[in-house]
Structure 1
Amino acid sequence: MICDHMEKGFLDNIIDMLKHDETLFPVIIDMVKDERLRVRIGATALVEELVKDRRDGLVKFIPEISRLLEDPNPTIRGDGANLLGIIKHSDALSFLDAVYNDPDAAARAMIHEAIEDIRQN
């Protein structure tokens, strides 16, 4: 249901929901895996906003986000790396280093960029 709301453009409402209830953070994984482009882009925008006020909650969620790095779909792997790069916490480095040589060039580029962003932080 939250993914459907994201597709309809209710990003601000979803941001408010997740700011008030971090137990809803797993919906971010669902959004990244959603087939609808608008929902996947919304997941990135959501994390960009949440990192401002709920970074600690996102840091705790890094192990779950890192599972995206093992997805068979290279787009999802790249999006997972992007989210970890947005969070910019050293806890993500071991997960990103483990997939440093991803077979897909685009996913690999996102992984390398996330590592660089975190190390520069």
Structure 2
Amino acid sequence: MLRFYYHPLSPISRRVWIALLEKALPFEPILVNLNGEQRKPKFLALNPFQYVPVLVDGDRRILESAAIMDYMEAKYPEPSLMPKSPEAIAQTPQSIEPVTLVEGLEHPWGIAWLPDGTMLVTERPGR
């Protein structure tokens, strides 16, 4: 069974979660507490860069949401998440990337991770 390491506030984790659901792949969701768990040896063994998402499929671990989705599409082609025409294939990333950017800008708060691992949440002016 696939193991999916994620955090619910991560838009890129949600992107992979949606793809897993759309492909109807059985997976074990594993919440990573980004208040320091990502710096512990167990998670560092999976991802030395200390971020989510991470997908583990048997002995293979895949980092980066785009790589994870490409991997799933290649290994589990049905149902396909990609259109068939070259024009539509080219349009897909052009549609996804602005949504990811806007999603981060639309929140009425700013989130920052401090060096000690605590999360700073502040309201944005004018919101």
TM-score by length of 1: 0.28
Higher relative CO (Cα under 8 Å, sequence separation at least 6) belongs to 2
With structure 2 as the length reference, what TM-score do the two structures score? 0.27
Larger radius of gyration: 2
Bigger proportion of residues as helix: 1
Higher percent of residues as strand: 2
